[in-house]
Amino acid sequence: MPLPVLDVKNLVLWYRTRKGPVHAVDDISFALEAGQTIALVGESGSGKTSTANSILRLLPKNVLRYEGKVVFDGQDVMEFDDEEFRKVVRWRGISMVFQGAMNALNPTTRVGSQVAEPLIVHYDIDRREAADQAIEALGKVGLSGDIARRYPHELSGGMKQRVVIAMSLILKPKVVILDEPTSALDVMTQTNIINLLKDLKNAEHLSYIFITHDLGLASELADLVGIVYAGELVEVGPAEGVFVRPKHPYTGKLLASVPRLRSEAAPDFIPGVPPDLTDPPPGCRFHLRCPVSFEKCGWSAPEFIEQVKLLQSSVETKDKVPAIEAMKAKDTQTLLIKPVANGTVAEFAQRLTSFIAQDQETYRFLKSVESVQPKAKVVEVKLHEAMPPPLIGGDWRASCWLLEAGGS
């Protein structure tokens, strides 16, 4: 196997906020060969852009933890000091097309000067020479040389996006990070930009990190797909695998949620919302929304109580739940349930046990119950221990406890 051009290992980026640490990037690893593209796909707030920013060391002031290895071209560039990083890695080695960058072009400066700017900053280069190279870069992205003399407001959205791509290529980097490069564009323009990116990838032997929330778009460029959920890479592998037979239930749900133009299959939604990254759920971070979660996946007592309350509040399900007076979490994996006063506690425990046995396939959180113990006035429910699932597999791996059991 050829040496990867970029090898990201156990990358961590946490932000400090008033609400507590935000686990924006939590132990993300992937490797990229020269000429290869990885698409990082996830919902908004899942940590895709933070991953990109931490690779390029574009950090805000409130960083709490920033660690891991970023091996670029055989060197761990995390070891570089800021000046060395700026000189050698940022833009010269790894450049980026920022989300919405086309709207951040300087309105008072001709486009050509803006494209040439990195050259002037990084190299002691003659202005004429810089201008020639800028025109050459504009040519590569399909724009004629006279565009260099125009101002951003004279260009269409698609043309501005091409200019931004030209800027990212001007120092001939090996890796280009594309953060939602087409999300502000119309579909027809999007097609043209994606086609351009395909051409450039082949002509310049570029590696892309393609950040998008759109799985269809991801498949336009991705050799590898990484699925990001709540700050973690829950699945990463070859496009032929991940798109066709996803290993992680989240990937499966995400693929099933895409409305497809060429299939009659009705798109399905993922229940619930992504978790709060200041307080990620214990165990597998997806377990609250997972259609196949089971014992190990990490339900905690407060979550359990929340789910029971949800069942109680819905007209369709409230009669299924045995009548409860009060619930309280004793610790993270134990809760106490006080039955309403009819019959003994033991009888209530019986009813609870049969409810759990009957409905656990429908309401997966019930699977997390390890034991139901009647006490003097309350029933003590113990839950299985919460353990985050490890990444299982080699080049195609996913973090799901089901894979350990041999399922998929």
Partner 1 sequence: MTASVVDQQLPTEARPPSPNVIELDALKKWFDIGRGLFRGSIPLKAVDGVTLAIARGETLAVVGESGSGKTTLGRTVIRLLEPTDGRLLYDGQDITHQSEKELMWLRRKAQMIPQDPYSSVNPAFPVYRILEEPLVIHKEGDRAQRGEAVMKALQSVKLNPPEFFANKYPHMLSGGQRQRVAIARALMLNPAFILADEPVSMLDASVRISILRLLRQIQHTFGISFLYITHDLATAKHFSDRIGIMYAGRLVEEGPVGGVLGEPLHPYTKALMNAIPDPDPANRLTVRQGLPGEPPSLISPPTGCHFHPRCPIAQAGLCDVKDPEMRELRPNHRVACHLAS
Least distance CB 233 / partner 1 (angstroms): 18
156 forms part of the interface with partner 1 (CB under 8 A)? yes
75 forms part of the interface with partner 1 (CB under 8 A)? no
57 forms part of the interface with partner 1 (CB under 8 A)? no
Least distance CB 290 / partner 1 (angstroms): 13
Instruction: Name which of 326, 39, 333, 42 is nearest 197 in CA terms.
Output: 39
Among residues 34, 64, 88, 194, the one that binds partner 1 under rule CB under 8 A: 194
H helices within 205-295, ranges in order? 215-221, 239-242, 249-256
Least distance CB 91 / partner 1 (angstroms): 26
Instruction: Look up tokens 């290993």; give the residue.
Output: 247
Least distance CB 195 / partner 1 (angstroms): 5
Identity of the residue, 227 or 381, whose beta carbon is nearer to partner 1 in the bound complex: 227
263 forms part of the interface with partner 1 (CB under 8 A)? yes
244 forms part of the interface with partner 1 (CB under 8 A)? yes
User: What secondary structure does DSSP assign to 5-65, as a single string?
Assistant: SEEEEEEEEEEEETTEEEEEEEEEEEEE-TT-EEEEE--TTSSHHHHHHHHTT---TTEEE
Cβ-count burial of 18 within 10 angstroms (0-12 exposed, 13-18 middle, 19+ buried)? exposed
Can you give the length of the chain in residues? 408
Q: Which residues pair with 274 in a beta bridge?
A: none
CA distances from 401 to 9, 36, 43, 251, 389 (A): 22, 29, 22, 14, 6
Least distance CB 221 / partner 1 (angstroms): 6
Single-letter amino acid, residue 119: L
The DSSP 8-state label assigned to residue 178 in this structure reads E
Separation between Cα atoms, residue 229 and residue 42, nearest integer Å: 6
Least distance CB 346 / partner 1 (angstroms): 31
**What is the tally of helices (H) and strands (E) in the chain?**
12, 15
Least distance CB 313 / partner 1 (angstroms): 4
258 forms part of the interface with partner 1 (CB under 8 A)? yes
Identity of the residue, 261 or 346, whose beta carbon is nearer to partner 1 in the bound complex: 261
279 forms part of the interface with partner 1 (CB under 8 A)? no
Single-letter amino acid, residue 261: L
353 forms part of the interface with partner 1 (CB under 8 A)? no
Among residues 203, 261, 346, 376, the one that binds partner 1 under rule CB under 8 A: 261
- The 3-class SS string of 352-367 reads HHHHHHHHCCCCHHHH
239 forms part of the interface with partner 1 (CB under 8 A)? yes
For partner 1, the binding residues in 218-237 under the rule CB under 8 A are: 218-223
Among residues 146, 186, 347, 370, the one that binds partner 1 under rule CB under 8 A: 186
Separation between Cα atoms, residue 344 and residue 65, nearest integer Å: 52
Q: How many residues bind partner 1 (CB under 8 A)?
A: 52
Among residues 90, 247, 253, 296, the one that binds partner 1 under rule CB under 8 A: 253
Least distance CB 406 / partner 1 (angstroms): 25
Separation between Cα atoms, residue 44 and residue 223, nearest integer Å: 22
Say how far residue 179 (Cα) sits from the centre of its chain: 12
Identity of the residue, 5 or 217, whose beta carbon is nearer to partner 1 in the bound complex: 217
Identity of the residue, 191 or 307, whose beta carbon is nearer to partner 1 in the bound complex: 191
Among residues 130, 163, 217, 297, the one that binds partner 1 under rule CB under 8 A: 217
Residues that bind partner 1 (CB under 8 A): 37, 43-44, 156, 158, 186-192, 194-195, 198-199, 213-223, 238-240, 243-244, 253-255, 257-263, 266-271, 273-274, 313-314
